[in-house]
A and B are shown apart, each in its own frame.
Chain A
Amino acid sequence: MHLAVTNLSDSGKLLLMVEGLLAFAVVIALILGIATLVERRGGRRVAWLFVLPTLFLLLVGLIYPTLKTIQRSLYDAGGQQFIGVDNYLSIFASSEQLVVLRNTFLWVVVTPFVATAVGLVYAILVDGARGEAFAKSLIFLPMAISFVGASIIWKFVYEYRQASAPQIGLLNQVLVWFGQEPQQFLIKSPMNTFFLIVVMIWIQAGFAMTILSASIKAIPSEITEAARLDGVSAMQMFRFVTLPSIRPSVVVVLTTIAIGCLKVFDIIRTMTGGSFDTSVVANEFYSQSFSAGNPGLGAALAVLLFVLVIPIVIYNIRQMRASEGQ
């Protein structure tokens, strides 16, 4: 297909594109036409007709690539030789790949809880306070910055210069003010992974805060007033009233950030490029597929990522249903 297109002249390609668009329009018109015809009889059949285009797109854009990727992961680097599960074995056997798995584990375990905790504490603290909107927008601002932008900002924060030279990194300048030696934050594994995680928390805490704050405001005032009449302390109020009331939102926030962490790529790519043992599954998948020339192993990593994400997605959807049901 690709090669065939390359052979065409420019005008030929334009024609092909117009034809494609026309064919698409005809198909849609046909579906809509049939739908209006059948509509009089109503019911499930009409629904199925409307679902058809979505199903088709899912098939082409999701199911087919997934199957292809799974198939590719069972072949060697050149794509010629069937090697069974060897690619998967090498993920769990080579020391390099085990470091990648360890880092991904750290990301998924640490980031959601810390980001959610920070967001939750902040939401409770500013709830009903003066200047709440302004305080909230402050912590929400990093959400507006792209991952790459945030990574560049933090790369400068961690920047190192030798003790005798003027520091250009904020964190090292602070260390120097306190009479400490400047540090190379991004080199020492596994601490460097935590320094990268800070960037993600910085971005995601605002997201957690927004959702949780809205959820706190939705707690019926009868409940909180009743609790106050019973004489609860602030701690008890949080433990027995606020937290149970917003539990579904907390879970949704936790799982959403966890999925984001499984897929994290931009931060690693921009700040270390995967050097110094900071690579994670998504970054390694890219490196193996597109720089190391081993698309087989890359596909296996992609499938692994897919398998890891599925349970969290299912749990997330269930919780969303539960919170909608409330």
Chain B
Amino acid sequence: MGITTTRRIKVASAAAAGLALVLTGCSSGGSSGSSSASSSADCSAYSQYGDLSGKTVTVYAGIVAPEDAAYIESFKPFEQCTGAKVDYTADKNFETQILVQAQSGNAPDLAIVPQPGLLKQLVATKAAKAAPAAVAANVDKWWGADWKSYGTVDGTFYAAPSGASVKSLVWYNPQKFKEAGYTVPTTLDEMAALTKKIADSGQVPWCAGISSGEATGWPITDWMEDFMLRIGGPKVYDQWVNHDIAFNSAVPTEALDGVGAYLKNPAYVNAGFGGVESIATTTFQDAGLGIPTGDCSMMRMASFYSSNFPTDGSVTVSKDGNAFAFYLPGQKADDHPVLGGGEFYLAFADRPEVQAFQTFLSTDTWANLKAKASSSITKGGWITANKGLDIANLVNPIDQLSAGILQDPNTVFRFDGSDMMPAAVGSDSFWKQSTNWITGQSTKDTLDKIEASWPKS
């Protein structure tokens, strides 16, 4: 069994690599004229990396076609100017494969790690290398301390951030808001007032859906994390995620009750689907489909939700269209906590070419190259918290909004907490108890049961 599985994965990754090669071949063939012209002009910025001809850097990630093409495209100026070759491989089993590779000593030079928890596990294998000083300096310059701390394990800085995503968003219909004279709320109190106003007008303001197979319940965990960040603040949020405060203590109780004021209020949910309980059986994909049609006024969901809207031209995702998102506000207008996710570049080699490439990836130059490549190849869908990112390089309005939120100087960024909790909580009891909570279980019982499931050691 061990042999066949490994073989199958190898074959799959070989196929992915093959596809990647074909893609590179195509795009370089198509644009060879322009890129050779531009490379001679731009190369001055790459002189710091020296001549790396004949050297190869291997990159391994879980980002597969079609998103991989934008990565490969964004590495090209580095390859052309330094002479180094970047070999990008990806497969969907990345998260298990990278651990096996790191433990058995044949890890790639660089891995794109999608969450801090896995980053810690990889550093624990002792195969990872700390980031060179140039990368640390770039991260200090272009990212906030919050991002740097997620790339740091036990006081050593390992990994520079790559892409990012924003989850603290509320989807709404700008056209309907304009017709009805509603304004986008800038504080939690304003959001509560707006919700009441819509409900008083005879409309059900919110829609939500948490059905998602085995992971049923996760959208509520995101709601609760957002409210933890707003009610408790980032410090208490970190304590909660690390279990320094009990899951059933005062602040989490207040946060979940805060969510309940929206999701468990029959006058506020569930637009287009029924009562509170229908949240449990509605898939999160279906939940927001009433926004462009005007059946539902608001839904809290991450930026990736835009891909669920029909593509027949009936939905325009933009500031004046029939679907867009606003930032889920903080307690005060100046409070700017943001819940989200992101990827990190972790190195398993410290050869000069690897460190040079690592440094290049932590610059604003690469961030903008990648943004441009994503805009032209996949119509966007990629942002970074790198403050050097020029928002003009993004084509997708939701990307522009998200990047703007990340670059706001008041923004305090926190990773999705359930991803960092032990699996027994983060991918089991938190989901299950949230589901029971929406179908009638009290907040106290819910939090007591999650607290009881937290592993003892």
The chain A residues found within 8 Å of chain B, CB to CB, are 1-3, 5-7, 10, 13, 16-17, 76-78, 81, 94, 96, 160-163, 165, 184, 186-187, 269, 272-277, 287-288, 291-294
Question: Which chain A positions have C-beta within 8 A of B272?
Answer: 162, 165
Stretch among B20-28, B236-244, B277-285, B359-367 lining the A interface: B277-285
Tell me which of B7, B106, B278, B422 contacts A184 (CB under 8 A): B278
Contacting pair B280 A187 (CB below 8 A): yes
Contacting pair A10 B10 (CB below 8 A): yes
Contacting pair A7 B104 (CB below 8 A): yes
Q: A5-B2, A77-B455, A273-B214 are in contact. Are A160 and B422 (CB under 8 A)?
A: no
Question: Which chain A positions have C-beta within 8 A of B106?
Answer: 6-7
Find the residue from A165, A277, A291 having the highest chain B CB count within 10 A.
Answer: A291
CA A273 to CA B428, docked complex, whole Å = 11
Q: For the complex, is B400 an interface residue (Cβ under 8 Å from A)?
A: no
Min CB distance, B431 to chain A, in Å?
8
Contacting pair B280 A3 (CB below 8 A): no
Question: Which chain A positions have C-beta within 8 A of B2?
Answer: 1-2, 5
The chain B residues found within 8 Å of chain A, CB to CB, are 2-3, 6-7, 10, 100-101, 103-106, 213-217, 272-275, 277-278, 280-281, 422-424, 427-429, 432, 435-436, 439, 449, 452, 455, 457
Contacting pair B104 A293 (CB below 8 A): no
Question: Which chain B positions have C-beta within 8 A of A3?
Answer: 100, 103-104
Question: Which chain B positions have C-beta within 8 A of A272?
Answer: 216
Contacting pair B3 A161 (CB below 8 A): no
Q: Which 4 A-B pairs give the minimum distances between C-beta atoms?
A: A293-B423, A162-B274, A292-B428, A2-B2
Min CB distance, A165 to chain B, in Å?
7
CA A67 to CA B3, docked complex, whole Å = 23
Contacting pair B423 A13 (CB below 8 A): no
Question: Which chain B positions have C-beta within 8 A of A287?
Answer: 214, 428
Contacting pair B214 A184 (CB below 8 A): no
Nearest A residue to B425 via CB reads A292
Contacting pair B423 A6 (CB below 8 A): no
Tell me which of A81, A273, A276 contacts B439 (CB under 8 A): A276
Contacting pair A162 B273 (CB below 8 A): yes
Nearest B residue to A95 via CB reads B449
Find the residue from B104, B273, B432, B452 having the highest chain A CB count within 10 A.
Answer: B432
CA A293 to CA B422, docked complex, whole Å = 8
Min CB distance, A47 to chain B, in Å?
31
Interchain residue pairs with CB less than 8 A apart (20): A5-B6, A6-B6, A13-B6, A16-B3, A160-B281, A161-B274, A162-B273, A162-B275, A162-B278, A165-B273, A269-B213, A269-B214, A273-B215, A273-B216, A277-B436, A287-B428, A292-B428, A293-B423, A293-B427, A294-B455
Nearest B residue to A188 via CB reads B439
CA A6 to CA B2, docked complex, whole Å = 9
Contacting pair B104 A160 (CB below 8 A): no
Contacting pair B281 A81 (CB below 8 A): no
Contacting pair B213 A273 (CB below 8 A): yes
CA A17 to CA B4, docked complex, whole Å = 10
Question: Which chain A positions have C-beta within 8 A of B10?
Answer: 10, 13
Tell me which of A2, A76, A165, A277 contacts B6 (CB under 8 A): A2
Tell me which of A1, A2, A13, A273 contacts B7 (CB under 8 A): A13
11 new A-B contacts, CB < 8 A, other than A94-B452, A275-B216, A292-B427, are: A2-B2, A2-B100, A13-B3, A162-B275, A165-B273, A274-B214, A287-B214, A288-B428, A292-B424, A293-B422, A294-B423
CA A275 to CA B100, docked complex, whole Å = 32
Contacting pair A187 B424 (CB below 8 A): no
Min CB distance, B304 to chain A, in Å?
21
Contacting pair A160 B439 (CB below 8 A): no
Min CB distance, B441 to chain A, in Å?
10
Question: Which chain A positions have C-beta within 8 A of B449?
Answer: 96
CA A13 to CA B10, docked complex, whole Å = 11
